[in-house]
Each structure stands twice: as structure tokens, then as C-alpha cells.
Amino acid sequence: MQKEVRKIQDLELRGKRVFVRVDFNVPLKHDGKNWVVTDPKRIEGALETIRHIIASDGKCILASHLGRPKGKKDLKYSLEPVGAKLSELLQKDVILTDDCIGDGAKSLSQRMRNGDVLLLENLRFHEGEEENSPDFVAKLMELTDVYVNDAFGTMHRAHASTVGLPKMVSQKGAGLLVQKELKYLSALRDNPGRPFALIMGGAKVSDKMGILEQFLPKVDKVFVGGAMAYAFLKASGHEIGRSLCDEKQEQLASKILRVADARKVKMFLPVDHVATSAISDVKGKVLTGGVDIPKNLLGVDVGPKTLELFQKELSGMKTIFWNGPMGVFEEPAFSTGTFELAKIIAGTGALKLAGGGDSASAISQSGCEDKFDFISTGGGATLEFLEGREFAGLKVLEYRVMGDG
């Protein structure tokens, strides 16, 4: 007997209240009057599943968290701006409940017509969500005929809406976005097309240790940029100036370098840098002539020689996976390395994949989004999945099927 994850396409949705766990944990800003969504990608990612339910004459009930309200109602974390953006994208009325549980939400769910869309207020306004409380699960059950999880970024958490509720529902499955995540990330984790290049950026080696260890046996080239590169450079005997790097990060980098060398995996580190006296000192930025960073400066981006090297070495790759920026790309003066790398990857003939979060934002800002085969919405969950960790929210959707023999 083997196990598979049931899909939304396998479920009878017509006339049913379909509770969909989505990930609408999106960035907001206050425009002087209201909170507005600044990056709707996660909302857009759920549209295919929502439209499938509408087209199937189901009653779509969406549930998400937003921010960290710590189990109490906090209007700063209300899903009201999310509902407004979703309504705009769907070109359809979306009703927001005052609370995600209780008589009001239950009554609204019972009055829904086929094709209606209801958005529940923030799940984390209740402690029971993160605690996976049986009482909270029971109240969510009052709104649920069919359960669908389309929030890959939360499937590693054993919360009420990801594990407790689906355990109580017989008709359950994965949404279309989760299916897409599993298709691309499973293939990448288990059998990437070779030659395979892994590009790692971001702040800490420790954050990426799991994925580096997982992929070293099956990767051909590893490229390192961002703040974590300084740990590798220091471990290799180079001067990194005032760039952040503690002893633990250096030790981890040293270990990775030894393992990569033993496995004959080629590691490519920055060969030049954009450096400055402080991140706030935009006008004081300089290009280093080589690998070493002057003692009074800190690295904030990779330089043009590094990009040239990376472009040359990425040529001919069959698979490229990128996670993490090459520098402090939020500051326009230090964004060139990250945006140019996105364009370099986009110009290759490889299967091009990226892990969410900062990488997704950078690719979008570089204008290369449509050139990538897949950009994960999972953030930290993407890395955990690629590390081979078990997801409680995925396991609960599994069912047994007959094996081949």
C-alpha cells in the first residue's frame, strides 16, 4: 500500500461549504486612510482554486492568518484589506465575517448560495488556532462540509486550521496551488535534472544548512551570495572587513566547504563586492577590486566581476534553484547584484525555480517573473520541504492506495 494526497479535483463540491485554508499573510501599508495590500502575490496564487470552487457551484469559505496578533483581536491585522483586494481580483463580492468562528460566521455560511465567497476574519485572533485547540476546531467544523488546503506556506505547522480541522473532515484534499508546489518541489528535491546549480543568498549560513546538506549529494555547482557569503569567504581565509559574520556561521561555512570539496562539488563565491561604511551610507559605496573587503567597510552587494563569473558558470545548467538575495536589495543603491542575477538566470535555458520570500520579490521587481518556470509561495516552508522534513498539514490529507504489486 502506498499513500497519495487527495486533490480538490477528486472532491464533490456542488452545494457544499468548502473551507479553504489559504495563505493571505501579505504585506500591508497604511496610505493615510486605510491599510492596503502592497504585494498581492499570495492572494493571486489562490485564485485558481477559488475559481474552481465557484465554477463547481461550491460555497467558498476562505480562512487565513495575517501577522502575529498573539491570540487577540487587533484591527491592525484585520483581513479587511485582503478582502477588498480579493474582491477586486475576482470581480466579485467577497463578504468578510466579524469573527472566524461563532454564530455570525456560522449563520453567514448557512445562508451562502452556490458560487458565493466568504472570507473569515484572522484565524490568529484566537489562541486556539496555533494551539490546535479541540474547542476551536469544533467551532471551525460548524462552517465546514469539505476541507481544502491551498496554503503551502503553513502546511508545516500543526495548527487547528491545518491539522485539527482536516482530521475531523472526511472529504478533504489539496488545492491547485499546493499541487503545483508539490509537483515542482518534489521533483527538485528527489530527482533534479543534471547538471544542477544551487544559488544561495540571504543572511545566515545556519538558515540554509539543511538545504545545503540535502542537495550536496545531487548538485553540480553551488553559488553563494548575500551576507552568508562573508562566512564562506572568511572560512576561506579572506578579509571581510566589517561584514557581519559570527564564529558559528564561519564554522558552518567551513564544514560545507569541506563536504563540497570531498564530493567534488564546485563552489562559487563572490570575487568582488559593493561595499560601504554603513548601510545608511549610500553615497559612500565603492567597488572592491577583488575578493577582500577593506577593514573599515562592509559588503552590501556582489560586484560586476562576480556577476560575470556566475553568468559564465550557470551557462549549460539543466536545473537552477535560487533562494536568497545577493545583497541589501531593499536599498536601490545595493540592488544591482540581485536584479542582474535574476536576469542572468532568466536568460538561461535551464528549468528555473526560486524559493519564495525575498527571492520572489526580487524576481518580480527585476521584471523577470514570467521567465521563471516556478516561484514558490512557501517562504520558509519551501526550504523545510526541500530539506526533507515531514509536513503535518500534508500528511493529514494522505489516503492509502493500492500499490503495484
Residues identified as active-site: 42, 204, 357, 380
From residue 384, how far is each of 11, 114, 275, 369 by CA, in Å?
A: 28, 37, 32, 23
- How far apart are the C-alpha atoms of 143 and 284, rounded to whole Å? 58
Question: Over 334-352, what HEC string results?
Answer: HCHHHHHHHHHHHCCCCEE
Cα-atom radius of gyration of the chain, to the nearest Å? Answer: 23
- What is the Cα–Cα distance from 50 to 238, expressed in whole angstroms? 52
Which candidate, 238, 208, 245, 144, places its Cα nearest to that of 384?
A: 208
The answer to whether the CB of 1 falls within 8 A of the CB of 400 is yes
Say which amino acid occupies 164.
Answer: G
34 half-sphere exposure, CB direction, 13 A CA radius:
11
Rounded Cα gap, residues 342 and 137, in angstroms:
43
3-state class of 47 per DSSP?
A: helix
Specify burial of residue 170 (Cβ count, 10 A radius: 0-12, 13-18, 19+). exposed
Q: 32: alpha, beta or left, given left = phi > 0 and alpha = psi -120 to 50?
A: left
Report the distance separating Cα 13 and Cα 298, nearest Å. Answer: 56
Report the distance separating Cα 194 and Cα 191, nearest Å.
9
Helices (H) and strands (E) in the chain, counts: 15, 19
C-alpha cell at 154: 503553513
